[in-house]
Structure formats: C-alpha cells, structure tokens
Structure 1
Amino acid sequence: MQGLKGSSRQVSAAANAETRYIDCADIPGTDCYCDDEAVETIRKRFADAGIKDAGGIHFFDNGNYHYMSKIWTDMVQEPFSLVVFDHHPDMQEPRFGNILSCGGWVKKVLEENKFIGNVVIIGVADHLVEEIREELSQAGDTSTLDKVTFIKESEIRETGSPTSFSRTPSSFSRMRESLRSPTESGMTEGRIYLSIDKDALSPAYAATNWDQGSLDVAALKDIIAGLATNHKIIGVDICGERARDFAGAEHHTMQEADALNSGLNRELAEFLAPLL
C-alpha cells in the first residue's frame, strides 16, 4: 500500500498493512495540472522507492491529484480495463497544451496507453455525462466514446447496486458487457484497475474538495465485490481528501471531515486488500 503525500497532509491507511509514503509535496507544477517535468520527477520517486508495478492500494490526497491514476496505469504492462468511481467524467481537453490534468486524465489514458481496453465511469452527474458526450461528438472523437461506458448518478440511485451480477439491472449489465474482452474462442473476463474518487460518495460518507454525488459506501463495496468475482483487480487508487484550505463547511467541521475520511480510508483499505 502506498500513500502519496500530495500536500502537507498524509493519508491514513490500514494499520496492519505494509505502508510506504512517497512525499511529493515539494514538486512544483502539480496542483490540478501536472506538467511533464513533474511527471518525470514523480516517476523517479517511485523508482527510488523500489516501486516497479501498479499493484496494491494507492492513496493520494484530494481530487486535484486524480491524474495520478494516469501515472500509475502507465505502469500496467498487460491488457486491462479501467473502472472509475467519480462524480465527474475527467475526460475534458486541457485548457492549454497537452498537459496532464485532474479533469482530463481518463481521456489521456485512452489516448496513450496501448494496453487499455474499455473504461467504465460510475456515479457521474447526469448533466456532465451529456456535456462530455456532446463535446466529444462535436470534436468527431467517436473512438473515445466507443470505449467508455457511463453509469450515471441517477442510475445508481434508481437501481441500487447488485449483490449478484447474474441478476443485474440494465445499467450494470452494460457495465459487465463492456468489461468483457474478446478472444479467439469467445469472450472472457479480464483484468481491471480501480480508481476511486470519493466525491462520487454522498457527503454523509466523505468530505472532499469537489461537489459530491449520492453513492453510499455499501453500494460502492457491493459493486467492487461483484466485479472481483469475475475479474482480477490489479491495482486500486483512492483520492478525495478534504482541501488544504478547508476550514469547515455545510456538512462538516474540519475535525469531522478528517475523522470521516480517515475512517473511510481504513474501511476501504481493509475491504480491498483481500481482493488484490
């Protein structure tokens, strides 16, 4: 288990797990956007820490650093699919250049990773799904859309989460079909990489620095457990801590936010570790 220290705060992890912290707080050019020099510096710190693959559970600060999932999945050297829990699609073009960003890293994975098959994004706000579909369609980028399955926030609310994929609502059937890989003899269930932004969850379960969805933790765990019965989970990323300048908000005080997030991080680490 690795905890990436992207700001002045370390992320809690399961006490009984082998844990490594990689301090990246001093690297410039990393907040929301990550320039090429910063990417190389992060990769070097991974190498210096003896990290050679993307296996394990990785915690990395708030949603501004979700692009770290692109850096981690760059290390995957076998065919895989990406399953993302996020209240945002993270598929926007960067505002300038071709820079890696928290709002566009999924699209970069699809464009640059030769091992990626399909992407499923779960819990996205309905209006953002429509906006990104329109944006990509207008740009003529149908190849990207063909590889992405959205499970919208409203679909999660209406159907709940299946405990068995043998009797799934239509949205989850779409998800499972999109994750199946073609072979010479038919279709097979393959490897998946999980990337979890806690802003997909209701504020009752996490305090993040972006607007949040309505997924509950039980549903999140049910979906992952269902996936694990038919796929090999090869790595997990978790982000969505509170912002560094958070001083209390509508739902939580600073102390409540930290306690909530730390408890959730521990719960997720203990739940996910046996699935890897």
Structure 2
Amino acid sequence: MPIVTVQDFTGVYAEQPFMQGLRESAATDKNIHWFDCTQIDSTDCYCDDEAQAILRQQIESTRGDTVGIHFFDNGNYHYMSKLWTDRVQEPFDLIVFDHHPDMQPPRFEGILSCGGWIKEVLDNNKFVQNVIVIGVADHLVEEIREDLSQANAAEILNRVTFIRESELEALTSHLKGTLCRPHTPSLYISIDKDALSTAEAATNWEQGSLTFEQLTDTLQTLAQNRKILGIDVCGERARDMGFEDTAAADALNNALNEKLYLTLAGLHGIQ
C-alpha cells in the first residue's frame, strides 16, 4: 500500500471515522503520517513564507519526496499541491480535478494562495510540462483567460488544457483523446472534491457536476502505463460553514474519502 500523509488544518477530520482510523494507525504504521496543522498561523487561503517553511518540514519528514496519497483538509489549502510538487525531480504532467481554475495572478506578491497555486507551479516548477484541469466551470475559464491576459501572463495557457464542466458528458471521448495523448511518462494528480456534485461531496466552495464514476474511470485511464508521482485530495467542508445537516455532510465526506483511498491505493503505477 502507498504511503498516506494527512495534514489537518481545521480539525474537520475529527468528524470522519475513516480518517480517524488513519490517525490511530499513524501511531504504529510507518507508512501513515498525520500532522496537526491547526496551530500554524497564516494558512487559511493564503500561506506566507513562515508557514510554508513549517509545512515543507512536515513533507520532508515523511521521506522528502512526493510518494503516496496526501489529504489536506478543505479547498482553502489546495496550495499544498504546489508545495508537494516542488519535490518532484523529473518531468511530469499535472492533472487537476477542480471546479475552479486556481490560476489567478497574485493579489499579494510572494504570498501563495489557494486560488493561484497552479499559476505558481507553471511559473516556477521547471519540471512541469503540461497541466490538465478537469471539471472547471465554463464561465471561470473565460474569466481566467481575461485575468491572465490583463496581467500579461496569458502565455502560460499554452501548457494548459481545460476540460470544462459542460464537456464532462463527453469525458469518455476526452479519455480517448486529450488525456491519452503521449505527454510525459510521469503524472502528478491533485483532486479538489468541489469538482464533484453535491450528491457526492459536501465542500466549502461552489461545486461542479463530476460523478464519482467519472472520476474513477478517468483515474484508471490516466494510470495506464504511466508512473504516478503523488496524489492529493482536498475539499472537505469548512467547520464554520453551515449545512442544514452537518452530520449528513460529514457522513457523505467520510464515505467518499474511504472510497477515494481504496481507489487511489489500487491504482496501477502509483509509487
């Protein structure tokens, strides 16, 4: 089984029996790492240099590479995928499941954000070759193209393919086309569960319409004959975000995280 790392920023995993099982196992299983990040300042949506240094130390303590599956709370912490991919030392394609493009030009120079981490990877990671973002809201694709153009950064889109939410019904065709084109032999996969429909997950951002079956079919196709360098999962509910039935939301996410773990652990090619 692959190494599993959990970075818990808000304590939301306390409401999920499956995740608590991982936490208990971390005490005796060297392949499971659990980090309580609730006391690290300056991490919510934006991550400053001091916080990044602490988080990088956590990553390095696991083995120092990207190996395995990484869970890191809700979508406000999706920038963790940038910190994990910083460890990659070979050419790779980045596959992102997200209802948002996460490529906003920075509002504050030098501050890593959940809304701009993909742009940071494209700008600063010499090993990333191509990025494919799956399940993005159609109108957000147009907005990010305009934002990047105004910031004189539109050229990075030459390495980005968007599979929009409106194109998900034809995802099977994409699996036979765009996603199977020969790029690099290594992949890094980052999943924000807000790409999934509200029937599949309860998250803290507006959600898309991807189904779990579409997600797993895509993952299985991507894993064929390619090495997977690491897989990230975020998209929990925010603890301060009201749901009519928080117990039902937590039960939904608990079941999804267990299914995701079993699916990801069984993928061919995961290192």
TM-score by length of 1: 0.87
Counterpart among 199, 204, 209 of residue 209 in structure 1 = 204
Aligned to 1:265: 257
Label 1:71 to 1:212 Cα distance change in 2 as closer, same or farther (>3 A): same
1:221 deviates by 0.3
Residue 233 of structure 1 pairs with residue 194 of structure 2: no
Pairwise CA distance, 1:20: 1.5
Give the deviation of 1:274 after TM superposition: 2.1
| Residues 179 and 222 in structure 2, CA contact (< 8 A), matched pair in contact too | no
**Greater share of helix:** 2
Residue type of the alignment partner of 2:42: G
Deviations 1:63-122, CA, capped at 9 Å, x for gaps: 000000000000111110100000000000122223100000000001111111010000
Counterpart residue number, 1:96: 108
In the alignment, residue 30 of structure 1 is paired with which amino acid? T
Report 1:1-276 matches (<5 A): 1-10=4-13, 12-13=18-19, 18-47=31-60, 49-156=61-168, 158-159=169-170, 161-162=171-172, 168-169=173-174, 173-177=177-181, 180-181=182-183, 189-249=184-244, 253-275=245-267, 276=270
- What is the CA distance between 1:247 and its match in structure 2? 3.3
Distance 1:50 1:257 in 2: 30
Report how far residue 246 of structure 1 moved: 2.6
Distance in 2, matches of 1:53 and 1:210, equals 29
Alignment partners' CA distance in 1, 2:54 and 2:7: 13
Coordinate RMSD, CA, aligned = 1.8
Residues 172, 122 of structure 1: alpha-carbon distance in 2 compared, 3 angstrom cutoff:
farther
Q: Secondary structure in 2 aligned to 1:244?
A: coil
For each residue in 1:3-38, what CA deviation from the matched residue of structure 2 results, as whole angstroms up to 9, or x when unmatched? Answer: 111112336447688421011111101000000111
Percentage identity across paired residues of the two chains:
54
Q: So what's the TM-score if we normalise by structure 2?
A: 0.89
Residue 71 and residue 274 in structure 1: after superposition, are their counterparts in 2 closer, same or farther (change >3 A)?
Answer: same
Partner AA of 2:78 in structure 1: H
- For the 8 Å contact 1:92–1:107, the answer to whether it is kept is yes
> Counterparts of 2:144 and 2:62 in 1: how far apart (Å)?
38
1:194 and 1:236 in contact (8 A); partners too: yes
